[in-house]
Amino acid sequence: MEGGLYEQVQRAAAAIRERGLGELRPQVGLILGSGLGGYADKLGAQPGGGPPLAFDYADLPGFPASHVAGHRGRLVVGTRAGVCCVAMQGRVHMYEGHSAAAVAFPARVLIALGARVLIITNAAGGLNAAWQPGTLMLIGDHIDLLRDHALRGPNDDRLGPRFPDMTKAYAPELRARVREAAAGAGIHLEEGVYVAMPGPTYETPAEVRMIRGLGGDAAGMSTVPEVCVARHMGARVIGISCITNQAAGITGQELSHEEVTETASRVRATFEALLDAILARLLAGQELG
């Protein structure tokens, strides 16, 4: 694509507006991980009354295409729980051959479209033996062990500062809203530290011991690049992991992607109920301005 990163982001956002979004500004961006993309299909009509909009990533300039099972590859705009949302129905990953910047590019476009809050979800391996598969974990912080960074390279001040602060990468005030939403909906929610690993292999037992020693509670292959660009552009982040399996060495069983998608499917209804409760709580708490 021609032009710098800022121009590329604006070009993608303009293409989405020209294809039906118009001047509508979504309030929340949703990045839906493995097995969770069905939530985007439940978005209702746009605030103006028009039907939900859907765009294939392949038709949007700069959007990389995913080839991983459970990641459909569509952008959907509509309302849920009274909130106008733009949802990524699946994402790409660095292990598919993309740079961290390319992985995070769609998140930048969500923000350029108007979303000032991103809710980023993922499937992750649990490092706490007490957490059974199907546990939902609110991300309180992360450890980045990826071998690339979404902000590596020249910085454009129109997007954000050269050195973004990550002290509150996962907005504390929004995490409080999530805990309130979970309690109100009767949904059990753990909280912990997410560790980003490059994949596509699952972690070895030795790596799991290392990650636990560093303070990690869950390990996955996504999320951190998107969080970094969100903070770079001044958006606030909520991160939630679905613990789909216990990490290597904890149970002695071998790991598989089928187990990940099966567990995500099993807890989908609970996860979707939590997302509904979060959106309603954000709206009621006037957290969407």
Task: Cite the active site residues.
Answer: 34, 71, 93, 95-96, 123, 221-222, 245, 257
Contact 92, 199 (CB under 8 A): no
Element (H, E) at 36: none
Contact 274, 115 (CB under 8 A): no
The SS3 assignment for 229 reads helix
Helix runs in 141-203, H state only: 172-185
Nearest to 24 by CA among 108, 103, 113: 113
Query: What b/e readout covers 27-50, taking b as 16+ CB neighbours within 10 angstroms?
Result: bbbbbbbbbbbbbbeebeebeeee
Helix runs in the chain, H state only: 5-16, 100-112, 172-185, 205-214, 224-232, 257-266, 268-284
